[in-house]
């Protein structure tokens, strides 16, 4: 057990163990720092940038930053929240996110963040990119229109030898998360469900699954994402 | 107090948003006290007869007629509101946006599995018909939109509270459950 | 096939961390990396095929399709455009009968665009089958395509004298010019191999670091981090297995001074690496060099070999027991972002060149998770000289805050483009006079990631206290259309080179480009200028320097040339999307065979 250290978020005194990632340390103190590419139990990647905070005046991702004694952190500020909202809007316009037709609607973290940050319509023009739906695997469908390239599946869904079922392809605006054909052919039902659950949006769908929970009872139907942390 | 004048239309939409306007139930009696409808499917007035305070737009623009109607609304309405997902981001009609329009038309009229009656193999070409746009456009990509009410459809409460706030000039403070994209 | 795929992989011990070398060798052997062998490569390395494709698809020069017997990579940087690239490109397309991005039907010629190849002082330039061609004109393209059809070997097609200095040596044989216009007193001063290193090993390692710290030497790649401090951090890391990297990725458009140093003084740089190794106790070093400089390979290998023979590399270096250090050369495969130190390390480990999150910094956890120093070519060259002549001497050059000299890569509209070594502290005005530039409209300081400045800022001077730079200066004459020719080109460069990891850098430059295009098309309004600034903001929270600076061309041009934007926007309205009904119905009317009744 590491020593307890003190730090401050938006003026609030907090305590944590030295070296814990800031997102988790904040959570222990009832402070919600929004995340999207972060997932409990996975090595943080810092690719969505939504958890960006200011540590001692410098922008840093809270999911990748270990907390140290005496840190002074800005989190819930107009500047940061505006950039977070812009990132959410970017992810909406750069894909094809048709919420009414999506199996994950109501349980989707991107959508939930848009609710939390009160996105009524993105300020950016929609790109309407041409994307494929990869339905060539026996257990899962990879819906590229909805992928936000967070790499959770790449980091989290591996076989017994540590090989990744998912991988990043190309670069920049052409980036794509693809499925390894050989591994996916032998994917178990449990693994498929794990992949669907790890995906924050509706980009990995287990075949013939969806809309199991009625509207009004889904994860983010009644309370904003993060409110469980704040109301603890 | 003179009544505010409201116009509504459904462009590339399904009229679901209009149904949601009617979903305000008995509050519609209050609404009638507050507003007078001008061009709208609700009262079946086909053309603008005066300048309006508020225009509600359902649906995005998928064809030339939608564009003309939307521009007409912008001209005649002081405040223009995008009502629902289709107006805001194209919605389900925009799912064709990834497919070249020529391919869409061929599939729909010539080669699709359900095409059986089109024995002359023509893509409808009467000059009277509106022309299809290369993609479905969200309204704000054609004219300036002042407010957005998301949802598929937007909930009746959202529509009602927004109208009341606009008409009375009051603050709007909606509960979390009211704003949804589906 | 001379060597089998499995032999190539064996050659690198079936080690996935050597994937770059494996792929480079396979591509060299077959001409491309066929999809059919991906599973085989993946299986032999014990990774999934998807993971393998992660790396292959990241790099510009790897291809899963045949590239053409003659594959032409024509540089598309701003200076190339300024020197007539468009006509060269058109001629290639006409003569080869294909558009760029394609291979001719007979598989003979493939035409490709490529980001800056480090030849901005001799554009238009191209790399054809690994051989550099410069000063291209339509006339020469017609000839070259004729030669290609005759099947002439590519090195016979240059038809120019080899360049000056070592460019003409047997091991290089390139038409590339050094264009050394001004030899300064640090890098170009008399060099006798081993002197710097001998002085270093007569000192304690900590004293070497102290000497470098005292010299106030800062990183010459552009970021300007104090070199001695970086070394000191490395010695404080717990792990004792440490690495020295020399960053020769030099991808910033307009920069080419590292190429010239490596051509003329490779041993000076390697000696600097050995000094760093002595200072921090490293046993291995890596020269990470961009693919575009592949023509220097034999020359660099030879320099290493000579150093080994002279016992300046290898075991018990310079007779000092236990001082073992050697260097391997790691080539990249076309990715600007690999110039970022942690991306460079990822790439050297056989992965996509995606920057890492910091902390931890490479000095704590770098190559193979071990403490690693990454220094620029010029920095290491200067280390050797500082050891030889002392920190006092170095401090006597330059300004109070910026010690020593800087190698400048100067290109664009001037009489004498090339490499200049000057002391810090000169004004931009001095430099324009030095290179013979007149009627200057703007100067891009530091390449696309730097700043576009106007005539009223010419008194500003070079130095970390004012204009810190990696050394690229690109000069634009009054007649240039800055927004269309320069800002657009640079913005497209960042779009092409983004690694795609951060949501910000992957998406925002594309939106900025579209918005700039809207303004160029005459559909912009004042709000669009403000939007460009507003939309750029989240780039500041990207992971690496590429993201942080991707909007610099737009932001700094708005700051310093706002009138150019204002001249182009519509003044009679506040809102305009640029939507055009006639354009948007054209295709559907064509398909239906009906008139467009607008």
CB < 8 Å from B in window 54-93 of A:
92
pLDDT at residue A14 in the model: 97
Is the pLDDT at C222 greater than 90? The verdict is no
A112 and A36, same structural domain? no
- Give the end of a domain, one of A27, A43, A76: A76
SS3 C425: coil
Alpha-carbon distance B120 to nearest alpha carbon in chain A (angstroms): 32
pLDDT at residue B23 in the model: 95
Preceding peptide of C360 cis, ω within 30°: yes
Domain ranges across chain B = 4-96+135-178
Q: Among A65-74, B112-121, C91-100, C588-597, which stretch is predicted with the lowest mean pLDDT? A: B112-121
A112 and A69, same structural domain? no
Total domain count, chain A = 2
Q: Among A188-192, B115-119, C435-439, which stretch is predicted with the lowest mean pLDDT? A: B115-119
DSSP of B28-42, one letter per residue?
A: HHHHHHHEEE-SBTT
Averaged pLDDT for residues C249-271: 98
Chains that touch C (3 or more CB pairs under 8 A): A, B
Contact (CB, 8 A) for A136 and A187: no
A103 and A63, same structural domain? no
Q: For domain B4-96+135-178, give the fold.
A: Rossmann fold (3.40.50)
CA distance C302 to C297: 8
Binned at pLDDT 50, 70 and 90, residue C223 comes out as confident
CA distance C38 to C19: 12
Alpha-carbon distance A117 to nearest alpha carbon in chain B (angstroms): 11
Is the pLDDT at A136 greater than 90? The verdict is yes
CATH 1.20.1440.230, chain C: domain bounds: 483-568
Is the pLDDT at C356 greater than 90? The verdict is yes
Q: Which residues of A touch B94 (CB under 8 A)?
A: 96, 98, 126, 128
Q: For domain C194-395, give the fold.
A: Rossmann fold (3.40.50)
Contact (CB, 8 A) for C535 and C511: yes
CATH 3.10.20.600, chain C: domain bounds: 408-479
Is the pLDDT at B2 greater than 90? The verdict is no
User: Is residue B74 within a helix (H) or strand (E), and if so which, with residue range?
Assistant: helix B64-76
pLDDT at residue A40 in the model: 94
Q: Does A64 touch chain C (CB under 8 A)?
A: yes
Q: Let me know if C156 is exposed, middle or buried by CB neighbors in 10 A (0-12, 13-18, 19+).
A: exposed
DSSP of C78-97, one letter per residue?
A: HHHHHTTHHHHHHHHHHHHT
| Interface probe, candidates A96, A108, A126, chain B, greatest B C-beta count within 10 A | A126
CATH 3.40.50.11540, chain C: domain bounds: 194-395
Provide the CATH number for the domain around residue A11. 3.10.20.740
Averaged pLDDT for residues C380-404: 97
Class of domain C70-163: alpha beta
Per residue in C512-521, pLDDT (tens digit) is: 999 999 999 9
Is the pLDDT at A1 greater than 60? The verdict is no
CA distance C43 to C30: 19
Which residues have C-beta within 8 Å of that of residue C45, sequence separation ≥ 6? C9, C14, C15, C16, C19, C22, C52
Q: What is the ipTM of this complex?
A: 0.97
User: Is residue B81 within a helix (H) or strand (E), and if so which, with residue range?
Assistant: strand B77-83
Strands (DSSP E) found in C76-163 = 102-103, 109-114, 126-128, 131-133
Nearest residue of chain B to residue A223 (CA atoms): B176
Alpha-carbon distance B134 to nearest alpha carbon in chain C (angstroms): 5
Nearest residue of chain A to residue C58 (CA atoms): A170
pLDDT at residue A2 in the model: 65
| Interface probe, candidates B127, B131, B135, chain C, greatest C C-beta count within 10 A | B131
CA distance C234 to C361: 10
pLDDT at residue B165 in the model: 94
A104 and A154, same structural domain? yes
Check whether domain C408-479 has CATH 2.40.50.100, yes or no: no
Alpha-carbon distance B61 to nearest alpha carbon in chain A (angstroms): 14
**Nearest beta carbon to residue B105 from set C584, C586, C591:** C591
A91 and A57, same structural domain? no
Identify residues of C whose CB sits under 8 angstroms from chain B CBs: 574-575, 577, 579, 581, 583-598
Per residue in B115-163, pLDDT (tens digit) is: 988 888 999 999 999 999 999 999 999 999 999 999 999 999 999 999 9
**Considering the domain C483-568, what is its CATH architecture?**
Up-down Bundle (1.20)
pLDDT at residue B173 in the model: 85
Cross-sheet strand order for the sheet of A4-9? A12-17, A4-9, A72-74, A52-55, A58-61
pLDDT at residue C246 in the model: 98
Is the pLDDT at C2 greater than 70? The verdict is no
Averaged pLDDT for residues C315-320: 96
**Nearest beta carbon to residue A91 from set C503, C510, C511:** C503
Q: Which residues of C touch B129 (CB under 8 A)?
A: 594
pLDDT at residue C3 in the model: 78
Per residue in B87-105, pLDDT (tens digit) is: 999 999 999 998 999 999 9
Range of the domain at A118: 85-206
Under an 8 A CB cutoff, do C597 and B106 touch? no
pLDDT at residue B1 in the model: 59
Averaged pLDDT for residues C388-407: 96
A72 and A91, same structural domain? no
Binned at pLDDT 50, 70 and 90, residue A3 comes out as confident
A116 and A27, same structural domain? no
Chains that touch B (3 or more CB pairs under 8 A): A, C
DSSP of A62-117, one letter per residue?
A: TTTPBP-TT-EEE-S-HHHHHHHHHHHHHHHHHTT--GGG-TTTTT-HHHHHHHHT
Contact (CB, 8 A) for C285 and C246: yes
Averaged pLDDT for residues B39-68: 97
Per residue in C460-495, pLDDT (tens digit) is: 999 999 998 999 999 999 999 999 999 999 999 999
């Amino acid at each position: 057990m590491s020593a307890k250290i003190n730090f401050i978020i938006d003026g609030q005194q907090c305590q944590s163990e030295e070296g814990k990632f800031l997102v988790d340390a904040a959570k222990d103190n009832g402070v919600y720092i929004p995340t999207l590419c972060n997932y409990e139990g996975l090595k943080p990647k810092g690719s969505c940038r939504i958890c960006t905070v200011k540590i001692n005046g410098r922008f840093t991702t809270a999911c990748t930053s270990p907390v140290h004694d005496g840190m002074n952190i800005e989190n819930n500020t107009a500047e940061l929240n505006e950039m977070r909202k812009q990132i959410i809007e970017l992810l909406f316009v750069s894909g094809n996110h048709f919420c009414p037709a999506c199996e994950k609607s109501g349980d989707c973290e991107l959508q939930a963040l848009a609710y939390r940050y009160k996105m009524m319509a993105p300020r950016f023009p929609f790109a309407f990119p041409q994307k494929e739906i990869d339905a060539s695997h026996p257990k899962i469908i990879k819906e590229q229109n909805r992928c936000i390239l967070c790499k959770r599946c790449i980091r989290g869904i591996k076989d017994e030898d540590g090989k990744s079922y998912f991988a990043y392809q190309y670069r920049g605006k052409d980036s794509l998360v693809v499925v390894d054909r050989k591994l996916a052919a032998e994917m178990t039902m449990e693994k498929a469900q794990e992949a669907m659950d790890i995906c924050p949006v509706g980009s990995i769908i287990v075949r013939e699954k969806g809309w199991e929970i009625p509207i009004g009872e889904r994860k983010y139907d009644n309370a904003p994402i993060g409110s469980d942390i704040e109301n603890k | 107090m003179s009544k505010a004048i409201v116009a509504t239309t459904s462009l590339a939409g399904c009229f679901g948003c209009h149904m949601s306007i009617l979903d305000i139930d008995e509050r519609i009696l209050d609404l009638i006290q507050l507003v007078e409808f001008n061009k709208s499917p609700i009262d079946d007035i086909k053309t603008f007869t005066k300048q309006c305070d508020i225009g509600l737009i359902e649906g995005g623009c998928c064809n030339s007629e939608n564009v003309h109607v939307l521009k007409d609304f912008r001209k005649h309405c002081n405040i223009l509101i995008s009502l629902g997902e289709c107006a805001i981001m194209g919605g389900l009609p925009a799912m064709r946006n990834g497919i070249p329009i020529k391919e869409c038309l061929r599939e729909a009229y010539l080669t699709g599995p359900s095409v059986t009656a089109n024995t002359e193999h023509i893509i409808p070409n009467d000059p009277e018909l509106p022309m299809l746009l290369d993609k479905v456009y969200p309204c704000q990509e054609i004219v300036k939109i002042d407010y957005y009410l998301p949802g598929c459809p937007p909930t009746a409460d959202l529509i009602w509270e927004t109208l009341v706030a606009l008409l009375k000039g009051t603050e709007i403070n909606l509960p979390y459950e009211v704003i949804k994209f589906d | 096939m001379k060597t089998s795929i499995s032999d190539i992989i064996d050659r690198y011990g079936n080690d996935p961390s050597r994937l770059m070398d494996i792929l480079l060798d396979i591509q060299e052997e077959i001409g491309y990396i066929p999809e059919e062998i991906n599973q085989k490569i993946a299986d032999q390395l014990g990774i999934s095929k998807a993971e393998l494709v992660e790396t292959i698809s990241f790099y510009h020069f790897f291809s899963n399709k045949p590239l053409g017997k003659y594959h032409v990579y024509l540089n598309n940087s701003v200076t190339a455009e300024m020197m007539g690239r468009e006509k060269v490109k058109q001629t290639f397309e006409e003569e080869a009968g294909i558009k760029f991005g394609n291979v001719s039907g007979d598989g003979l010629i493939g035409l490709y665009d490529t980001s800056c190849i480090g030849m901005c002082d001799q554009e238009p330039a191209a790399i054809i089958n690994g051989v550099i061609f410069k000063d291209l004109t339509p006339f020469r393209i017609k000839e070259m395509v004729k030669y290609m059809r005759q099947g002439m070997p590519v090195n016979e097609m240059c038809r120019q004298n080899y360049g000056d200095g070592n460019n003409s040596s047997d091991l290089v044989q390139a038409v590339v010019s050094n264009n050394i216009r001004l030899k300064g007193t640090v890098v170009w001063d008399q060099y006798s191999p081993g002197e710097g290193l001998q002085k270093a090993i007569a000192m304690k390692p900590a004293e070497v670091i102290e000497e470098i710290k005292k010299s106030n030497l800062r990183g010459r790649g552009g970021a300007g981090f104090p070199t001695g401090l970086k070394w000191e951090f490395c010695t404080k890391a717990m792990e004792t297995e440490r690495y020295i990297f020399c960053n020769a990725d030099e991808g910033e458009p307009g920069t080419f001074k590292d190429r010239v140093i490596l051509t003329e003084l490779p041993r000076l740089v390697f000696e600097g690496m050995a000094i760093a190794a002595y200072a921090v106790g490293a046993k291995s070093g890596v020269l990470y060099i961009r693919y575009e400089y592949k023509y220097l390979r034999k020359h660099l290998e030879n320099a290493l070999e000579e150093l080994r023979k002279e016992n300046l590399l290898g075991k018990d270096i310079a007779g000092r027991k236990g001082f073992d250090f050697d260097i391997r050369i790691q080539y990249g495969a076309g990715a600007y972002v690999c110039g970022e130190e942690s991306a460079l390390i990822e790439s050297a480990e056989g992965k996509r060149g995606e920057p890492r999150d910091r902390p931890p910094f490479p000095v704590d956890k770098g190559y193979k998770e071990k403490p690693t120093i990454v220094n620029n070519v010029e920095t290491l060259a200067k280390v050797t000289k500082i050891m030889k002549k002392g920190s006092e001497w170095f401090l006597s050059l330059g300004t109070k805050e910026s010690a020593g000299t800087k190698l400048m890569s100067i290109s664009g509209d001037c009489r004498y483009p090339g490499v200049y070594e000057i002391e810090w502290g000169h004004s931009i005005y001095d430099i324009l006079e030095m290179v013979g530039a007149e009627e200057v409209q703007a100067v891009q300081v530091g390449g696309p990631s730097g700043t576009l400045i106007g005539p009223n800022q010419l008194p500003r001077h070079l130095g970390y206290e004012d204009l810190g730079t990696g050394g690229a200066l690109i000069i634009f004459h009054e007649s240039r259309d800055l927004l269309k020719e320069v800002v657009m080109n640079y913005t497209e460069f960042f779009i092409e080179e983004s690694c795609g990891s951060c949501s910000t850098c992957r998406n925002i430059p594309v939106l900025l480009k579209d918005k700039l295009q809207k303004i160029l098309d005459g559909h912009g309004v004042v709000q669009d200028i403000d939007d460009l600034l507003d939309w750029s903001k989240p780039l500041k929270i990207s992971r690496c320097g590429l993201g942080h600076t991707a909007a610099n061309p737009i932001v700094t041009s708005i700051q310093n040339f706002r009138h150019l934007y204002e001249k182009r926007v519509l003044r009679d309205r506040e809102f305009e999307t640029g939507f055009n009904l006639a354009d948007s119905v054209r295709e559907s009317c064509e398909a239906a065979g009906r008139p467009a009744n607008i």
